[in-house]
Structure formats: C-alpha cells, structure tokens
C-alpha cells in the first residue's frame, strides 16, 4: 500500500501541462540530496516539480489521509458506519468561519499568502470546527452521557445554521472575494503551495499520527458506551480527544481546500470491507487509501478538462454521492430482512 | 462479598431506589426481580459503577466501589447486558479479545490467548470464533458476549470475580435461556459471584441461590430463594396471584401464576389473609 501510494504520487507529480518522467523525478530528488544520476531534465521541469507539483501532491496526500482518518474515527465514535465529519457539521462550520475570515480578515491580514495568514485561516477554521463540535456535543449530553441520535440531529441543525451564515457573509462580499469564496467552497487544491502545506501539516500530522493510538478504545467503544467503560476505558476522555483531533484535522483541511466531501465516508468503508473493522488496521489503511484517493482525484481534477481545473470537491462528490446512496440502499434492504 | 447499605437513587424528585440493604455472598448467584420500573436496572447500574447512588454505599470485599481504580475494577467486574447493538462486522474472536483489553497493552499476550481459548471452550463458542458476529443468531451472539465478559475477569483472584447480568436471557428462546443460565450457575462453583436481573420466576427458582424482590424502588424481601419466593411475596411484588408447587420428581419447586388480582387487595396489607383463603378455596 505504501508502495502504491509512492507510485501514485510520482505519477501525479509527473502528469500535467508539463510532463515529467519518473526517471527525471528520481534524478531531481537525487540532485537535491547531492547525487548526480546523469538523467537529463530541464530547469523548467525542475521548477514545476519542486514548486508546483510536489507541494500540491503533498497537500492532497495530507488532506486525503486526514479526512479519511477522521471519518474512520467518527464512525467509530458514533458506532455507525454512516458517520462523517461533514455529518455533524464540523466541515460546514469550519467553512462558515473561514468565509467569515476571508471576507473580514482580508482587510486585517492583506491576503493569506504568508505563513501567518495561513495560520490565521487555520485557527479560524479550527475555531469553527471546534465550536460546532462542542455545540453539538453539549446539546447531545444527557445525564453525563452522549445521546448519539440527538447528536446527529443537532449536526443537521448546525449544518443549516453554518450554511446560512456562509450565505449571509457571501452576500456582503465584493466581487473579488466572491470569486475566491465560491471557488474555495467547491473544494480545490488549486491554491497549494509550500506555505500552506507547512501551515496545515502540524494539525494534519497530529491528527493522522494520534488516531491510531485510540484504536483499541474505539474497538471497545463499538460494543456500547457503558460497555467500554466496564472495560476500564475513560469514555468521556476518549470522546473529547477524538473530537479535538477531528476538529483540528478537518479544520486545517477545510482552511486550504474547502469542503471536500465523502472522502471521510467512502474511504473507511471500502477499507473496512477489505480488512475488517478492527480500528488500528482500519485507521492506518484509511490514511493510506485516503491519501491515494485524493492524489488521484486531484490528478483527475486538473487533467481531465485541462487547462481548466475542475474543483476536486465535484470529483469526490460525483464518486461519493452514488456510493453513499448505495450504502443507504444496502442498509435499507438489511433492515427489511 | 458485595455489601449494599442504604442505597437510594433520586432523580428529578423521584425516588427510583430507596433503602436497599443486601449482602451478596461470594460465590453465589443472586437474582434481582421485580416489575418493570421497580428499579432493577438502576440497582445494577449502581452496582456496576455506571451511576453513583444518591445515598448509601456499595462495597466490594470491604472496599468502597467508587474508590476502586478504573483499571483494577475492570479486571474484577464484568457486565453482560440484554442486547448489544453492534453495527460493525467484527469477528467473534475480535469481540472476545476486547474482554482482555484491561489486561494487556500493545499485543495480546500468550496468557491472554490461553484464557480466551479456555473460556471459548467453556462457553462453547470455539466453532464460531472466526465468524462475523453480525451473522450469528441471537443465542450465539449472547454466548460470544458472555465469553467476552468472562475472559475479562477469568483470572482474577478467587472470590474477587464479579459478574453482573442485566436481563441476560430475555431476548433468547427457551433452549438458549436454560443453556446460558446453567452455564452461569456453574460459574458460581468456580468462585464467581453472580448478580442477575431476571424476569422469569422459575429461572430464578431453578438457578439462583438468593433472591431480591423489588417493588417501586423498595426491597420487598431478600434472602435465600426458598424463604423469599413465597406466594405472598410474589403477590406483593408483581400484583399477580401465584402458586408454588413441590413436585417430587423435580429438584426444585416451580411457580405458576394464576393471573392478576384486585389491586385493592394488594395495597392494603390487611387483606393478605383474606386472599390466602381465597386461593385455598380455589385449590
């Protein structure tokens, strides 16, 4: 799987308006670490590779892995394979605060092309994501426990509220802002550069690296909340940790790429079908497949109709929407039997 | 021994439990019985540490239950519920392994594997270890869950193994009910202490040692099943007329329920004598 991921990355990095062969990529990497391979490549290729392509692939990789890991963890937390960060309003709330930040904050930071600007976007999306999580969580608290169905319904309400806020802020934006908001909301990795890769990587890596340590607790959690507690697991702490990690990872992803739907839903599902529901394998498998999927989806988004770029959110929604319907139909037929 | 002193539980001005005093002897099977809403499940939740009582104390082998470290308690006390709502397609083995989570970090130890093997044979689930839990029948699922609960406390010191069962057989057919209860009964011979919420009077009569009868959050009677399970106590607890039979061929008495009785009679304790006469006349 790791090899597949590497292969996909090299393929994606080499494909585009300017083609770069795998050998040339190999040679460029060797050159960076001070080795001469004798394979010829142009300076233009080198610049495109290091500055444009690689940062973009790195971003797709980080975001894909983060979204998939968060999806897997959320599904474990809700003990329901249909859960997704977008479902309880994390993604939309994060995007609402980001739009707010783009429209209001542009004056404060004069653009977001600095690392500081990127962090400020991150912080605002994280704040939005965490706010949504906390709100939904508080509403769903019942006698010191979380009621999952209320939580899901609260998620719907939060989604609606965040959507309304986004629309309202969009109304008051000027033309320039409107363009960037609209494009950003469709979900795109077009804005990738090393600055925002550096901006999101601490959050994403914390999320990807942290989740596997919670896998055993998540396994026990699937028995039921009180049953996990009988097994000596601090259930409330587990829930808090997962929510904060997810808010962080999803928040950072949304900050740079907008809402990329269905990765968090589809990827863990497919992985679960292949290697089973045990969370350690599931989370690691999801991280790798999520990265592969998003690198490929991004490749499709920028080459299929080139030179025009189709927002990646459209690609994942096109694939994910029908898959979600298929899952619902499967659930339905199961409950009839 | 599990000592329950003056337990009360109050929520939103309603007393769900009041003045419960019982002692669960080590190595016995204690059945908790009562009508719906009598407080059985609340009591079990307090005993398992799920909720804290508003009044009174629970001590397990001399130590207050609330002061047990989470990890230690989870190696000595396990809980089996009536039904599990699992949606993820775990294998039976994976479910049972979860019972060992309090005992290892990282990889399953050889000792844990041995315990799982032993318990799987004991409960009779060796044949379904690799099967998808979701495809098992209700009775098989409940046996897998029992195996998970047992591996959790299997190697605790003798006299410190506590198993709580909340209506463990209510969702099972008669065959599985008796299979599971017989299994639980043999546990007490292996130094397990068992507390179970039961609905079936005859299951309690056949398998339990002690019985606690609850009505509206209060204890009606507690003690040895033969002394507690009499016609009068059953009538008080469930508002039904019951008869106890002592057939020579069985090792235990069995109870038949003759139907509902007039509420007026049960609420005034003076009427017990009258209603006893009524039943004698009927026999």
Banded model confidence at residue B279, pLDDT cuts 50, 70, 90? very low
Instruction: Name the pTM for this structure.
Output: 0.82
Classify residue B149: in a domain, yes or no. Answer: yes
ipTM of the complex: 0.81
The two beta strands, B14-24 and B77-80, are unpaired
- Give the N- to C-terminal CA distance of chain B in Å, as an integer: 42
- What is the pLDDT, as a whole number, of residue B277? 43
Contact A124, A101 (CB under 8 A): yes
Report the distance separating Cα A319 and Cα A297, nearest Å.
Answer: 10
DSSP string, A270-306: HHHHHH-S-HHHHHHHHHHHHHHHHHHHHHHHHHTTT
**Picking from A88-102, A130-144, A261-275, which range would have the lowest pLDDT averaged per residue?**
A130-144
**What are the C-alpha distances in Å from A239 to residues A74, A152, A323, B85?**
10, 15, 28, 19
- What is the pLDDT, as a whole number, of residue A115? 63
The answer to whether residue B108 neighbours chain A at the CB level (below 8 Å) is: no
Residues of A in contact with B101 (CB under 8 A): 216, 219-220, 231-233
Q: In this predicted model, which residue has the larger pLDDT, B80 or B82?
A: B80
- Helix H or strand E segment including B99: none
Q: By CA distance, what is A225's nearest residue in B?
A: B50
pLDDT at B114 over 90: yes
Retrieve residue B91's tokens: 């294998």
What number of H helices and E strands is found in chain A? 16, 2
Classify residue B102: in a domain, yes or no. Answer: yes
CB atoms A222 and B88 under 8 Å: yes
Q: By CA distance, what is B90's nearest residue in A?
A: A277
Dihedral angle over CA of A277, A281, A282, A286, nearest 10: -160
Classify residue B64: in a domain, yes or no. Answer: no
Banded model confidence at residue A208, pLDDT cuts 50, 70, 90? very high
Banded model confidence at residue A286, pLDDT cuts 50, 70, 90? very high
Characterise B85 by phi-psi region: left (phi > 0), alpha (psi -120 to 50), beta (else): beta
Residues of A in contact with B142 (CB under 8 A): none
Cross-strand pairs, B240 = B260
Q: By CA distance, what is B131's nearest residue in A?
A: A276
- Give the N- to C-terminal CA distance of chain A in Å, as an integer: 36
Classify residue B113: in a domain, yes or no. Answer: yes
Q: In this predicted model, which residue has the larger pLDDT, B33 or A331?
A: B33
Banded model confidence at residue A116, pLDDT cuts 50, 70, 90? low
Classify residue B42: in a domain, yes or no. Answer: no
Mutate to test the interface with A, among B98, B108, B144 (most CBs of A within 10 A): B98
The answer to whether residue B93 neighbours chain A at the CB level (below 8 Å) is: no
Mean pLDDT computed over A308-317:
81
Mutate to test the interface with B, among A147, A215, A227 (most CBs of B within 10 A): A227
Banded model confidence at residue A334, pLDDT cuts 50, 70, 90? low
Classify residue B24: in a domain, yes or no. Answer: no
Q: What is the CA radius of gyration of chain A?
A: 20
- What is the pLDDT, as a whole number, of residue A324? 76
| CA-closest candidate to residue A155, choices A99, A93, A98 | A93
Classify residue B151: in a domain, yes or no. Answer: yes
Contact B27, B33 (CB under 8 A): no
- Inter-chain contacts counted by CB atoms under 8 A, chains A and B: 66
Give residue B141's domain range. 86-155
Banded model confidence at residue A81, pLDDT cuts 50, 70, 90? confident
Characterise B13 by phi-psi region: left (phi > 0), alpha (psi -120 to 50), beta (else): left
Report the distance separating Cα B173 and Cα B181, nearest Å.
Answer: 12
On the CB side of A158, how many CA atoms lie within 13 Å of its CA?
31
Classify residue B182: in a domain, yes or no. Answer: no
pLDDT at B65 over 90: no
What length is written for chain B? Answer: 283
Query: For chain B, how many structural domains are there in total?
Result: 1
The answer to whether residue B248 neighbours chain A at the CB level (below 8 Å) is: no
B190 preceded by cis ω (within 30°)?
A: no
Report the distance separating Cα A166 and Cα A164, nearest Å.
Answer: 5
Retrieve residue B166's tokens: 């909340």
Report the distance separating Cα A233 and Cα A239, nearest Å.
Answer: 11
CA A260 to chain CA mean position, Å: 7
């Amino acid at each position: 799987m790791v090899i597949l991921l590497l292969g996909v990355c090299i393929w994606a990095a080499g494909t585009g308006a300017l083609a770069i062969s795998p050998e040339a990529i190999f040679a460029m990497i060797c050159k960076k670490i001070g080795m001469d391979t004798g394979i010829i490549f142009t300076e233009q290729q080198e610049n495109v590779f290091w500055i444009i392509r690689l940062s973009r692939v790195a971003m797709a990789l980080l975001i894909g892995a983060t979204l998939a890991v968060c999806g897997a963890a959320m599904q474990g937390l809700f003990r329901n394979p249909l859960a997704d960060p977008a479902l309880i309003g994390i993604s939309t709330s994060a995007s609402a605060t980001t739009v707010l930040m783009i429209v209001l904050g542009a004056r404060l930071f004069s653009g977001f092309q600095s690392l500081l600007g990127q962090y400020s976007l991150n912080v605002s999306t994280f704040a939005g994501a965490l706010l949504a999580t906390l709100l939904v969580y508080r509403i769903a608290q019942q006698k010191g426990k979380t009621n999952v169905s209320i939580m899901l319904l609260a998620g719907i309400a939060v989604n609606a509220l965040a959507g309304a806020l986004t629309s309202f802020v969009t109304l008051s934006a000027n033309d320039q802002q409107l363009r960037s908001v609209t494009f950003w909301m469709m979900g795109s990795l077009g804005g990738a550069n090393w600055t925002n890769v550096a901006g999101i990587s601490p959050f994403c890596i914390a999320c990807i690296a942290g989740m596997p340590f919670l896998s055993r607790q998540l396994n026990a959690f699937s028995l039921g909340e009180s049953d996990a507690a009988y097994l000596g697991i601090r259930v409330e702490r587990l829930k808090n940790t997962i929510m904060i990690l997810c808010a962080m990872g999803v928040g950072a992803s949304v900050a740079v790429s907008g809402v990329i739907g269905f990765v968090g839903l589809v990827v863990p599902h497919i992985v679960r079908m292949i290697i089973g529901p045990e969370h350690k394998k599931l989370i690691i498998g999801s991280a790798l497949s999520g990265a592969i999927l998003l690198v490929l989806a991004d490749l499709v988004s920028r080459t299929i109709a080139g030179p025009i770029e189709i927002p990646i959110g459209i690609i994942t929604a096109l694939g994910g929407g029908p898959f979600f319907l298929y899952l619902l139909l499967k659930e339905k037929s199961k409950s009839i039997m | 021994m599990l000592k329950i002193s003056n337990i009360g539980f109050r929520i939103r001005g309603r007393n769900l439990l009041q003045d419960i005093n019982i002692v669960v002897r080590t190595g016995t099977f204690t059945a908790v019985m009562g009508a719906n809403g009598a407080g059985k499940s609340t009591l079990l939740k307090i005993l398992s540490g799920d909720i804290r009582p508003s009044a009174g104390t629970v001590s397990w082998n001399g130590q207050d239950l609330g002061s047990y470290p989470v990890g230690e308690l989870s190696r000595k006390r396990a809980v089996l519920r009536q039904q599990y709502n699992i949606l993820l397609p775990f294998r039976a083995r994976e479910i049972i392994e979860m019972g060992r989570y309090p005992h290892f970090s990282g990889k399953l130890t050889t000792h844990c594997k041995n315990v799982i093997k032993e318990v799987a044979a004991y409960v009779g689930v060796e044949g379904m270890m690799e099967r998808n839990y979701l495809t098992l029948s209700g009775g098989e699922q409940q046996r897998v869950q029992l195996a998970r609960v047992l591996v959790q406390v299997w190697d605790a010191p003798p006299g410190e193994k506590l198993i709580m069962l909340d209506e463990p057989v209510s969702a099972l057919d008669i065959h599985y009910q008796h299979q599971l209860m017989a299994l639980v009964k043999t546990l007490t011979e292996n130094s397990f202490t068992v507390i179970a919420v039961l609905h079936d009077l005859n299951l309690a009569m056949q398998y339990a040692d002690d019985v606690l009868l609850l009505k509206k959050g209060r204890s009606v009677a507690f003690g040895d099943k033969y002394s507690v399970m009499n016609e009068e106590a059953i009538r008080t607890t469930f508002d039904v007329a019951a008869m106890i039979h002592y057939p020579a061929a069985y090792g235990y008495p069995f109870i038949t329920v003759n139907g509902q009785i007039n509420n007026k009679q049960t609420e005034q304790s003076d009427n017990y004598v009258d209603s006893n006469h009524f039943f004698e006349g009927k026999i």
